[in-house]
Amino acid sequence: MIARLIAALAMLGATPALAASGPFFSLRNTDFVVTLAFLLFVGILLYFRVPAAVGKLLDKRAEGIKADVAEARRLRDEAQDIYASYERRQREVRTQADEIVANARKEAMAQADKAKLDLEKSIERRLAAAQDQIASAESEAVRVVRDRAVQVAIAAASEVLARQLGPQERSAGIDRAIDDVARHLN
């Protein structure tokens, strides 16, 4: 308020630019008329409290700006919290991913070891089966050779007996030999 009063007095005390001729306080002097009109305008503005209204509008605008700044700060803080949360979550996810990869490697190694053991067991089973087949084939070969030997022995004995014995003795000898062979084979 004091600043306004000083500004008004400074305008009144200002000397005209000597643009008009004649006495200053005359209605024919344009400088005096302009000064009166200006003072009247300022008075009307003061009467209707325009400066206070403009001040209130500016104060209201300043409060709105302060509120916007406060909202922006709140939003910035919230965004920083969210960003920090996402960074934390990203670190957790990265840690979990590393753990998953490590577990997958361990499991792959365990599976490889298990597959190796299974392969070794399968090879051992196949070797055992092959050895069993070899033993079976060997016993079959021994049996075949023995059967053939028996047949050859019977044929040889038949020939020897046929030369040495007569028909009746041959027949009795053959029967005995067949009984002996049957006893040995069973």
Q: Is 25 helix (H, G, I), strand (E, B) or coil?
A: coil
Q: Which two tokens stand for residue 140?
A: 């079959």
Length of the chain as a residue count: 186
pLDDT band of 1, cuts 50, 70, 90: low
pLDDT band of 166, cuts 50, 70, 90: low
pLDDT of residue 41: 94
- Domain boundaries along the sequence of the chain: 28-123
Residue 107 reports pLDDT greater than 70: yes
Distance CA 138, CA 119 (A): 28
Tokens 């599976």 label which residue?
111
Phi, psi of 21 (to 5 degrees): -105, 155
pTM (two decimals): 0.39
Is the dihedral angle over the CA atoms 58, 63, 68, 70 positive or is it negative?
A: positive
Identify whether the C-beta of residue 62 lies closer than 8 Å to the C-beta of residue 69: no
Distance CA 145, CA 78 (A): 98
pLDDT band of 153, cuts 50, 70, 90: confident
The alpha-carbon radius of gyration of the chain (Å, integer) is 65
Q: Which two tokens stand for residue 174?
A: 């053959």
- Which helix (H) or strand (E) segment holds residue 63: the answer is helix 50-164
- Taking the alpha carbons at both ends of the chain, their separation in whole angstroms is 143
Residue 17 reports pLDDT greater than 60: no
